[in-house]
Amino acid sequence: MKTRRDFLATTGAGAAALLAGCHRASATYPGSIVGASSAIGHRLRDGTFPTPSETIETKVVIVGGGISGLAVARRLDHHGMREFLLLELEHEAGGNAASGRNAVSAYPWGAHYVPLPNEESTEVLALFEELGLTRGRGTNGAPIFDEESLCSDPLERLFDAGRWQEGLLPQIGITDADRRQYEAFFTRMVQFRDRRGSDGRPAFTIPLDLSSRDPELLALDRITMAEWLRTQHFDSVPLLWHVDYCCRDDYGAGIAHVSAWAGVHYFASRRGRAANADPDAVVTWPEGNGWLAHQLAAPLRERLRGGYVVFNIEQNGEDVFVDAFDLARERSVRHRARGVVCAAPRFVAQRIVRGLSPTSGLEYSPWMVANITVDTLPGGNGAALAWDNVARASASLGYVVATHQDITLVPQQSVLTHYWPLDVVDPRDARQQAIARTHREWCDLIVADLVQIHPGIEEHIQNIDVWLWGHGMIRPVPGFIWGEERARMLPPHGAVVFAHSDMSGISIFEEAFTRGTHAADSLLPLLA
């Protein structure tokens, strides 16, 4: 409840701070670069781990505690198959749904929402019902969502030409031509959404593998989104910005990099409905999808083992050996299991699964995610603070307010989760640059980005933690989703079954969860 006077005072102070800032060297902020044990991960590449000094017997080992690995565990539990261990590199499960917590709020380190699931996403819908996120169906047949988990209004705002507007489609200063192209573009996307391919399947859906194989549609996978837009005569600058933004948001790479099939999929695959929300609603929590990860991990208890680097998976007759380095005890442990689900990213899987031929054409988008603790909620002219706050002129994706879902009044302190896909240069170079930067250098970049939209915010920052995702998410470059390489990633390797959203070519909760569930289903017969 900011009064107008407070607001004027803040902006005045902000302007003064900006002027002062011209002469000031970069400030240091408390915080550190946390998470993603890249140093340990790199040891995998160099392959220096001691030989195992003990052996543990179990039925199943799940390698990787991201959403797909957790989905495997949940499914095995449901089948009454409780004799398994889940080995995770980090100390906590979550993968891309990792999250953190400080005195102010819980906050996400990666994925932070799930859109309304499609009816085809049966596994996700079942999970939502189980977790109480949906409770039955409304009069329109759609699920009734838990209102406190649905993202509160206002959802998004965009900073453009010096002020904020609601929504992420630019509206300030657009021409009639832009408006016509907006309309034409979204009409095309609705047509794609409602279209069925020659095989009768929906043109684009989630899970992605249920999409139509109509050659006319799959042809979109051979060109970039930018090329497709060009051939369709979409050249409105604000429209192209918006589409590029959306691709970067979901894939960590823009329209020049991702395939047109992936680009269209973003806009045309979602047909989820709710009895009590608009179709474009999403569910979210302060810790983002970390909430879902915690729900899935909670029943596992001691069967979930964090701080284990799995460096070797090999078939041995009827058994599979899983060799892992226990970071806490600094020794290697061999697990002898009847079956294994490898729920690690593919670039890791092909290093550790003995005899697995490497997949070519894997590209991963590197990301930087920062959690910024502030003592005052950011303001701005034109539109009120939203959940997702984006600046059109920024190379980052903007920030999400971790306390947005808080139902209590006036929490002035908050945590802003700042997302930044490092897609300006080639991923390999971006990774090297990212890892070379110090905490202070990252803070300078982050604050410089935020000051553009919130002059004076540097005075309100209490802490900045930074997480570098070297291989943040699979990048759906042309030819990847519907090419041969992805198809070769799907089948099991002996008694090693795979589960990861890499196998879908897009990194989203629904794909990871469905892959995990199906992997568990296909593992069970192998155990019999």
* Structural contact between residues 496 and 342, judged by C-beta atoms closer than 8 angstroms: yes
Q: For residues 2 and 195, which CB has a smaller minimum distance to other proteins in the complex?
A: 2
Among 73, 246, 247, 277, contact with other proteins (rule: CB under 8 A): 277
Is there binding between residue 150 and other proteins (CB under 8 A)? yes
Is there binding between residue 103 and other proteins (CB under 8 A)? no
Is there binding between residue 412 and other proteins (CB under 8 A)? yes
x/- track of binding to other proteins for residues 365-384 (CB under 8 A):
-------------------x
* Structural contact between residues 21 and 458, judged by C-beta atoms closer than 8 angstroms: yes
Is there binding between residue 1 and other proteins (CB under 8 A)? yes
Is there binding between residue 139 and other proteins (CB under 8 A)? no
Q: Tell me how far, at minimum, the Cβ of 224 lies from other proteins, in Å.
A: 34
Dist. CA 426–CA 365, nearest whole Å: 9
Among 57, 148, 199, 441, contact with other proteins (rule: CB under 8 A): 148
Given phi > 0 = left and psi -120 to 50 = alpha, else beta, which region is 247?
Answer: alpha
- Among positions 472-501, residues that touch other proteins (CB under 8 A) are none
2 CB-contact burial (10 Å; exposed 0-12 / middle 13-18 / buried 19+): middle
Q: Tell me how far, at minimum, the Cβ of 150 lies from other proteins, in Å.
A: 4
List Cβ neighbours of 424 (8 Å cut-off, separation of 6 or more): 395, 430
Is there binding between residue 152 and other proteins (CB under 8 A)? yes
Q: For residues 229 and 386, which CB has a smaller minimum distance to other proteins in the complex?
A: 386
The DSSP result for 361-378, as a single string, is T--EEEEEEEEEEESS--
Q: For residues 314 and 406, which CB has a smaller minimum distance to other proteins in the complex?
A: 406
Dist. CA 315–CA 496, nearest whole Å: 8
Q: Tell me how far, at minimum, the Cβ of 186 lies from other proteins, in Å.
A: 20
Q: How many CB atoms lie within 10 A of CB 13?
A: 13
* DSSP three-state, residue 336: strand
- Among positions 384-403, residues that touch other proteins (CB under 8 A) are 384
Supply angle C-alpha 25, 417, 512, rounded to 5.
Answer: 140
Dist. CA 512–CA 66, nearest whole Å: 8
Is there binding between residue 8 and other proteins (CB under 8 A)? no
Question: What does the block give as tokens for 169?
Answer: 């489609």
Which segments within 440-515 are labelled E, that is strand?
Answer: 461-474, 496-498
Q: Tell me how far, at minimum, the Cβ of 399 lies from other proteins, in Å.
A: 17
The DSSP result for 419-459, as a single string, is EEE--SS-HHHHHHHHHHS-HHHHHHHHHHHHHTTSTTGGG
Q: For residues 26 and 376, which CB has a smaller minimum distance to other proteins in the complex?
A: 376
Q: How many CB atoms lie within 10 A of CB 494?
A: 17
Q: For residues 404 and 431, which CB has a smaller minimum distance to other proteins in the complex?
A: 404
Q: Tell me how far, at minimum, the Cβ of 249 lies from other proteins, in Å.
A: 20
x/- track of binding to other proteins for residues 237-276 (CB under 8 A):
---------------------------------------x
Amino acid type, 455: P
Among 153, 194, 426, 441, contact with other proteins (rule: CB under 8 A): 153
Q: Tell me how far, at minimum, the Cβ of 252 lies from other proteins, in Å.
A: 27
Q: Tell me how far, at minimum, the Cβ of 491 lies from other proteins, in Å.
A: 41
Is there binding between residue 3 and other proteins (CB under 8 A)? yes
Is there binding between residue 410 and other proteins (CB under 8 A)? yes
Q: Tell me how far, at minimum, the Cβ of 415 lies from other proteins, in Å.
A: 17
Q: How many CB atoms lie within 10 A of CB 516?
A: 30
Is there binding between residue 408 and other proteins (CB under 8 A)? yes
Q: Tell me how far, at minimum, the Cβ of 408 lies from other proteins, in Å.
A: 4
Is there binding between residue 25 and other proteins (CB under 8 A)? no
* Structural contact between residues 241 and 305, judged by C-beta atoms closer than 8 angstroms: no
* DSSP three-state, residue 308: strand
Is there binding between residue 278 and other proteins (CB under 8 A)? yes
Dist. CA 128–CA 272, nearest whole Å: 13
Q: Tell me how far, at minimum, the Cβ of 168 lies from other proteins, in Å.
A: 17
Among 281, 313, 402, 506, contact with other proteins (rule: CB under 8 A): 281
* DSSP three-state, residue 510: helix
Q: What are phi and psi of 164, to 5 degrees?
A: -95, 145
Q: Tell me how far, at minimum, the Cβ of 373 lies from other proteins, in Å.
A: 18
* Structural contact between residues 42 and 321, judged by C-beta atoms closer than 8 angstroms: no
Question: What does the block give as tokens for 307?
Answer: 């701080």
Please count the residues of this chain forming the interface with other proteins, following the rule CB under 8 A.
19
Q: Tell me how far, at minimum, the Cβ of 152 lies from other proteins, in Å.
A: 5
Helices (H) and strands (E) in the chain, counts: 15, 23
Is there binding between residue 151 and other proteins (CB under 8 A)? yes
Dist. CA 261–CA 492, nearest whole Å: 26
Q: For residues 8 and 237, which CB has a smaller minimum distance to other proteins in the complex?
A: 8
Q: For residues 40 and 275, which CB has a smaller minimum distance to other proteins in the complex?
A: 275
The site for other proteins (CB under 8 A) is made up of 1, 3, 147-148, 150-154, 276-278, 281, 384, 407-410, 412
